[in-house]
Amino acid sequence: MPSRRDVEHRRVGRRPRDQMDFKRILRAPVFWVLAALVLLLLVFTVGGNGGYTTVTTAQAEKLITDKKVESAVMTTDNVLTLDLKSGQTFSDPAKKISGATKVRAEFVDARAPELVTELKTNLPDGYDDQVQGDSALWTLFISFFPVLLLVGLFWFLMSQAQGGGSRVMQFGKSRAKLASKDTPKVTFADVAGADEAVEELHEIVEFLREPAKFLAVGAKIPKGVLLYGQPGTGKTLLARAVAGEAGVPFYSISGSDFVEMFVGVGASRVRDLFEQAKANAPAIVFVDEIDAVGRHRGAGLGGGHDEREQTLNQLLVEMDGFDVKTNVILIAATNRPDILDPALLRPGRFDRQIAVENPDMIGRHKILQVHGQGKPMAANVDLLAVARRTPGMTGADLANVLNEAALLTARSSKKLIDDEVLDEAIDRVIAGPQKRTRIMSAKERKITAYHEGGHALVAAGMNHLDPVTKVTILPRGRALGYTMVMPVDDKYSTTRNEILDQLAYALGGRVAEEIIFHDPTTGAANDIEKATAMARKMVTEFGMSERVGAIKLGQSQGEPFLGRDMGHQRDYSEQVAAVVDEEVRKLIDSAHDEAWHVVNDNRHILDALVLQLLEKETLNAAELAEIFKDINKRPQRPTWLSSEHRTLSDIPPVLTPAEEAALAGRTNGSGAPSGAAVTPGDPATEGALDARAAEGAGPTERPPTETVEVPEGGRVEP
């Protein structure tokens, strides 16, 4: 049974809601329209009789023949009104009429002569005729009703466009939301994985708190800060953290809120927004998705009065109008900085341009710790291992992973989030939900197993690919199965050999189908698409083709409008396009051949892998490592030369003092003596370098060595 305190809380909490509902009803235009109609109805029903009581025609005739009538009036609307003599009244208990001194009766045209005769007989001088016309009120209503209807319709449309109520006719005012004390505060402690961005924004917060410290050394306040990065990296979260840390008025608005259907509204709202910010300085103005108004001017088709450009012009003027003592900082966020107008990006407007990138492994670990607060985790859960399995994920993706894990835990009626649930949540975020109800035939299931086994086998048989961490033949999303290859550490660049290995890995499934079943399926369509796109980038963007060279071919498609680039022709000839196609085909064929060799050389391993897949359906990294322990890897590729006439140096990379110390004191695993020479590709050397590379010592100086000329038509072997 609820306590009295609970009841009081319910009662207190319900009253404001009722008040809000009542105010919402009063602000609704439909309420006032209905009220006006009811008022008009009352006017025409109550006030239309003029104080006369309605009686029957027979009763009216009796009053006339009894000579109780002082005066009578007959109208053209077949209405007879009678004013009784002084002291005379009319009562009818059946109709609840008592003491009436004025009565009226309606009659038909056939009774009119009879009533006229009675009036002439009993009231020779006391009756009159009246030609009935429209009343003044009705005439006024008919005259002004169309105008009132149009005004009301316009008012209704404006109220709907502006949110109703007091916002009507205030479309030129700023719609920015002011962060109040009741707004949930987000601080820098809630932000993880963006240390550089937080450090830059700390300076902004400190300037707002203590501007004299910076003005004393001649530093000017930064007028604008631009946060750019991929969706989900935490740009809006950083802005909210600045609002929570600064303790100053914080105005938040979306870029699309500036532009509406009326000309000049956006510019007016910009002026009003900055007037409010200046009046409450120091203050912060946050514009989310600024690309809605800051898009490159002149990039559209057609002319006329472009409302978006006018808004941008006003924004530029307001940012230039800041003086030194006006502590107003504009923070903007966008995930498309390439399409912003150059005038918006120059120093003096956006003095800080902060990239909010995808977090690294340490950043992902911190993000998982932040979002894991309040979630019951099992004791054996290692969030660092989860961070290793989620390369490339943004903060929003990681939050989604933990939320999916919590939902799966609740769905299975568990109390703690364990590793199994987290693994399933990662797969759901990457590939989509698992389709348990899809029924596959035995043949198609075996084809899928060989397809995914081909991918995994080729990935394990190449020399520059990341380890295979998972293979499954369970349908998930739009895939019948998938192979997961995850890097051990975060990587920010890719070598040519790694890309060639990725091409072979992408075609591994198709090759397995060709070799085993001699009849490839459509399941490799996405693999072929990805391989072709990567090979074309190698030729046209990365400069990894001998025939084409280090040339960028084509233009990026970052500009969605044609106004700026209209009329531009393709920047390469048809002959070059044919060469590009030939080079792409050459790369794909070479990758196809390498995958074919890996599958043929390790056919017994592929068959063993397929049997395990058909039995267990999903294999993890440890199980795969056991299967691939005896795999025959492909030999190393010869050193690639961009041109046969260019010099190839055989000098290895410089070693830091820490690396040299590590190599001097190591013992080769194969029994090599301490201080063995550095050998390129030696596992012991590579391991020692990787172990001590993070020590951070500077490179040692080496004496210059002689450059060796490559003979014409020759090749220097590694």
Judge whether 544 and 552 are in contact, CB under 8 Å.
no
The gap from C-alpha 631 to its chain's centroid, in whole angstroms, comes to 45
User: CB 691: neighbour CB atoms within 10 A?
Assistant: 13
* pLDDT tens digits, 312-339: 777 787 777 656 566 778 888 888 888 8
User: CB 349: neighbour CB atoms within 10 A?
Assistant: 20
Look at residue 592 in the predicted model and tell me its pLDDT.
94
Query: With the CA atoms of 688, 692, 698 and 703 taken in that order, what torsion angle do they form, in degrees rounded to the nearest 10?
Result: -10
- Our separate counts of H helices and E strands in the chain read 24, 16
Q: Which residue has the higher pLDDT, 9 or 75?
A: 75
Q: Indicate whether 465 pLDDT > 50.
A: yes
Whole-number Å distance between alpha carbons of 250 and 258 = 17
- Which of 315-319, 543-547, 670-674 has maximum average pLDDT? 543-547
Catalytic status, residue 452:
yes
Look at residue 379 in the predicted model and tell me its pLDDT.
85
The CB-side HSE value for 388 (13 A sphere, CA atoms) comes to: 10
User: For 362-374, b where at least 16 C-beta lie within 10 A, e where not — what string?
Assistant: ebbbbbbebbbee
Which of 289, 309, 452, 659 is flagged as catalytic?
A: 452
The gap from C-alpha 98 to its chain's centroid, in whole angstroms, comes to 75
Whole-number Å distance between alpha carbons of 307 and 314 = 11
Q: Indicate whether 682 pLDDT > 60.
A: no
User: CB 424: neighbour CB atoms within 10 A?
Assistant: 15
Q: Report the candidate in 426, 417, 369 with the shortest Cα–Cα distance to residue 397.
A: 426
Whole-number Å distance between alpha carbons of 206 and 676 = 54
Q: What is the CA radius of gyration of the chain?
A: 42
Q: Taking residues 211-226, what's their average pLDDT?
A: 80
Q: Which residue has the higher pLDDT, 556 or 347?
A: 347
* pLDDT tens digits, 575-597: 999 999 999 999 999 999 999 99
Please enumerate in sequence order all residues whose Cβ is within 8 A of that of 115, keeping only pairs 6 or more positions apart, or say none. Answer: 61, 64, 74, 80, 107
Percent of the chain with pLDDT over 90: 13
Please enumerate in sequence order all residues whose Cβ is within 8 A of that of 654, keeping only pairs 6 or more positions apart, or say none. Answer: 699, 700, 702
Is the dihedral angle over the CA atoms 630, 634, 635, 637 positive or is it negative?
Answer: negative
Judge whether 354 and 234 are in contact, CB under 8 Å.
no
Which pTM does this prediction carry?
Answer: 0.65
Q: What separation, in Å, do the N-terminal and C-terminal C-alpha atoms of the chain show?
A: 84
Residue with tokens 């003979």: 711
